[in-house]
């Protein structure tokens, strides 16, 4: 069988992909039908033995994907095909109670809640692995000097550990967002065609609560025919936000691996990996580039997620097709990206000597702020100190000399700071502020 979608053969981890297969989807639909039968029996609406029979047969051991698809060709209705296939397998009178009082989305939306609950679990585990890789790298390089850059230009010294700790802190927030959103996202319904629960009878509320409690998902307090699609929009948006952070982390790797910087590099299998079909010397950051590329797809899924919220009246079908694509793709791709990003940072090659060389190549320019602060500490006004150091920096660049040479020759500076004090102010190791403290705090922090 030829495959069309790259997710089928190129992207995604097995654990996440298995949540969204046709058989996995059918299994969840059947779980909901079984829970509905049990709830009816508990409410006294159907015989207990009928509920037990429905639950016993509501598995993919009895109801196959092939049979459901065969029925769907005739009915042209996916959930009704499941209902008929399950009814066929039930002995005695049990079949006549299958799907009693329910509408299709009672079953399908609640099944989706079960899938999304598992997807959040898998994603949370992947994020914890990423956080662990980042925290370990930050700890290892808590004092490794690197040039901080703003606007793509040399700024002031920092540590590589601080850079990575900031990434770990961002991952913490994504773990929290997933955890916080779960109660709003993992929600089902059992309230009938337009949310009144009329077909379920006088114990409709009791039945709905029993079904959701049985399955371990939240209850849509006021539904239409469907669970509110703001919930799915939140889920996809949380994943798009996460994908964008992964894009950010991997973009930094790509930039730092540029030939002219050479401060880090992705792992590269020297024994057999090929960087280019023609440029034999190449070692490209291909995994990071892959993550950045997939992030564009995930962000693109946000638009259909929001378009699915404003449906006609109590519901139309314009959300259905896009959700079949949007939800699995968002979950599978972001999980894949998270695992790849963890692998990148777990095996990252770090070159501290190149970091130091790039910092020193600025000829002291990056210590301008430190000198300004030192002058303020000696009583000079902040604005005057800024102007003085700025002028010295511009002169040093124009002459191609080290900033300290110009500063040491300035009579105003010589009156305020000694040679030893100037040397201290221009020592990048002494101008790292709270870097190590911040790294230690983030490494030590634990999240839910």
The catalytic residues are 151, 276
Alpha carbon dihedral 345, 349, 350, 353, in 10-degree steps, equals -170
Residues 6+ apart with CB under 8 A from 445: 169, 172
Alpha carbon dihedral 96, 97, 101, 103, in 10-degree steps, equals -70
Alpha carbon dihedral 228, 229, 231, 235, in 10-degree steps, equals 170
Residue from 240, 296, 264 nearest 164 by CA: 264
Q: Is the dihedral of CA 164, 169, 175, 178 positive or negative?
A: negative
Chain centroid to CA 35: 32
- H helices present in 90-217, as ranges: 104-140, 160-185, 204-215
Residue from 287, 292, 251 nearest 268 by CA: 287
Give the chain's end-to-end CA distance (angstroms, integer). Answer: 43
Alpha carbon dihedral 158, 436, 141, 247, in 10-degree steps, equals -60
Q: Determine the Cα–Cα distance for residues 115 and 138; give it in Å rounded to an integer.
A: 34
CA distances from 147 to 159, 275, 403, 426, 435 (A): 8, 28, 16, 14, 13
Q: Determine the Cα–Cα distance for residues 132 and 152; give it in Å rounded to an integer.
A: 28
Q: Which two tokens stand for residue 405?
A: 């040479």
Contact 154, 362 (CB under 8 A): yes
Contact 311, 232 (CB under 8 A): no
Q: Which two tokens stand for residue 276?
A: 């280019």
Which SS3 state, helix, strand or coil, does residue 264 take?
strand
Q: Are strands 218-219 and 264-265 parallel, antiparallel or unpaired?
A: unpaired
Residue from 245, 255, 230, 229 nearest 299 by CA: 245
Q: Determine the Cα–Cα distance for residues 398 and 313; give it in Å rounded to an integer.
A: 69
E strand or H helix at 187: strand 187-188
Residue from 114, 127, 101, 102 nearest 27 by CA: 114
């Amino acid at each position: 069988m030829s495959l069309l979608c790259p997710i089928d053969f190129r992207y995604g981890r097995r654990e996440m992909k298995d949540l969204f297969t046709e058989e996995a989807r059918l299994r969840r639909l059947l779980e909901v039908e079984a829970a509905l039968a049990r709830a009816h029996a508990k409410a006294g609406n159907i015989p207990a033995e009928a509920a037990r029979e429905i639950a016993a047969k509501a598995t993919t051991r009895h109801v196959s994907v092939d049979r459901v698809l065969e029925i769907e060709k005739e009915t042209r209705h996916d959930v009704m095909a499941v209902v008929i296939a399950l009814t066929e397998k039930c002995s005695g009178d049990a079949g006549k109670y299958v799907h009693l009082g329910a509408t299709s989305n009672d079953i399908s939306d609640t099944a989706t809640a079960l899938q999304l609950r598992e997807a959040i679990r898998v994603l949370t585990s992947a994020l914890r692995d990423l956080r662990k890789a980042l925290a370990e790298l930050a700890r290892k390089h808590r004092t490794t000097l690197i040039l901080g850059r703003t606007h793509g230009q040399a700024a002031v010294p920092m540590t590589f550990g601080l850079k990575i700790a900031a990434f770990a802190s961002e991952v913490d927030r994504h773990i929290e967002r997933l955890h916080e959103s779960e109660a709003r996202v993992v929600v089902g319904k059992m309230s009938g065609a337009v949310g009144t629960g009329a077909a379920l009878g006088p114990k409709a509320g009791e039945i709905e609560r029993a079904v959701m409690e049985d399955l371990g998902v939240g209850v849509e307090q006021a539904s239409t025919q469907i669970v509110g699609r703001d919930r799915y929009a939140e889920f996809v948006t949380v994943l798009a936000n996460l994908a964008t952070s992964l894009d950010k982390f991997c973009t930094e790797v790509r930039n730092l691996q540029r030939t002219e910087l050479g401060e880090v590099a992705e792992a590269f299998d020297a024994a057999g990996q090929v960087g280019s079909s023609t440029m034999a010397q190449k070692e490209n950051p291909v995994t990071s580039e892959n993550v950045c590329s997939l992030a564009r797809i995930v962000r693109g899924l946000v638009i259909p997620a929001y378009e699915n919220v404003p449906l006609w009246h109590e519901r139309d079908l314009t959300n259905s097709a896009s959700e079949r694509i949007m939800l699995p793709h968002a979950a599978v791709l972001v999980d894949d990206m998270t695992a790849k990003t963890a692998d990148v940072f777990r095996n990252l090659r770090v070159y501290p000597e190149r970091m130091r060389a790039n910092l020193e190549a600025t000829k002291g320019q990056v210590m301008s702020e430190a000198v300004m602060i030192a002058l303020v500490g000696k009583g000079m006004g902040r604005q005057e100190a800024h102007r003085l150091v700025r002028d010295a920096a511009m002169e040093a660049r124009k002459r191609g000399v080290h900033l300290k040479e110009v500063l040491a020759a300035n009579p105003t500076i010589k009156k305020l700071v000694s040679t030893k004090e100037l040397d201290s102010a221009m020592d990048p190791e002494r101008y790292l502020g709270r870097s190590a403290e911040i790294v230690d705090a983030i490494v030590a922090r634990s999240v839910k």
